[in-house]
Chains A and B, each alone.
Chain A
Amino acid sequence: AQSVAQPEDQVNVAEGNPLTVKCTYSVSGNPYLFWYVQYPNRGLQFLLKYITGDNLVKGSYGFEAEFNKSQTSFHLKKPSALVSDSALYFCAVRPLLMDTGRRALTFGSGTRLQVQP
């Protein structure tokens, strides 16, 4: 069974500083990896994904994430944080091969990002 760990419940960063939100995963075989963001009382919004290829993937709103197979990590990063980036961030994983047709994502518990002005 697959699992995702987000070790930090909350990350605090000053506006303009770089940010990192950590994610590690466990899955059989090669993973599909995703980051989603959730604003209060809203659904999840897709940020970026890693399927194959370049380990550094770029996504929406200036976010990027680095896939590290040896460390089974997929940390979310942004060079310069904005106050508007404050939200709840979820990492998710899905195995590459699912011959049953199952495509459900397994989510981490979420990390709240607070960007201070």
Chain B
Amino acid sequence: EAEVAQSPRYKITEKSQAVAFWCDPISGHATLYWYRQILGQGPELLVQFQDESVVDDSQLPKDRFSAERLKGVDSTLKIQPAELGDSAMYLCASSSSRGSSYEQYFGPGTRLTVT
């Protein structure tokens, strides 16, 4: 069964350092999402891509976060500089734009700890 791949699974970094996360969606899924899940809360959207274009980045802290999906396949989320409050699980999800398939499929996540 196809899965969303993410790496690394765990990342520990010091505040003010740069950190990057990678996501490879399910093959053929045109829509890709990055969510942030703070411990004890539900995931919240950071950015949504349709192919290589950003559809929604209204909740992305653009002063320190950036995301790209240059060829419309895999994606990278970057934080620079990292802050203590960025400690969270970063989840990537993908969905198909075709037919009646509305559910999103999630990767295993990257757990970020900022010290």
Contact = CB atoms under 8 A, between A and B. Distances in A.
A67 interface: no
Interface in B45-85: 45, 48, 50, 55-56
A94 B102 contact: yes
Nearest to A107: B42
B85 to A, nearest CB: 18
Interface residues of B, number: 27
Nearest to B43: A107
A104 B109 contact: no
B21 interface: no
A43 B91 contact: yes
B114 interface: no
Size category, A interface: 20 to 34
The secondary-structure label for the interface of chain B is: strand
Contacts of A36: 106
B111 A100 contact: no
A49 B4 CA distance: 20
A109 B104 CA distance: 18
A105 interface: yes
B49 to A, nearest CB: 11
A44 B104 CA distance: 9
A19 B33 CA distance: 31
A34 B40 CA distance: 19
A73 B32 CA distance: 28
B75 to A, nearest CB: 15
A71 B112 CA distance: 39
Interface of B: 4, 6, 31, 33, 40-45, 48, 50, 55-56, 91, 93, 95, 100, 102-109, 111
11 contacts: A4-B42, A42-B109, A43-B93, A43-B106, A44-B43, A46-B104, A46-B106, A103-B33, A104-B48, A107-B43, A109-B40
Interface of A: 4, 32, 34, 36, 41-46, 49, 51, 90, 92, 94, 100-105, 107-110
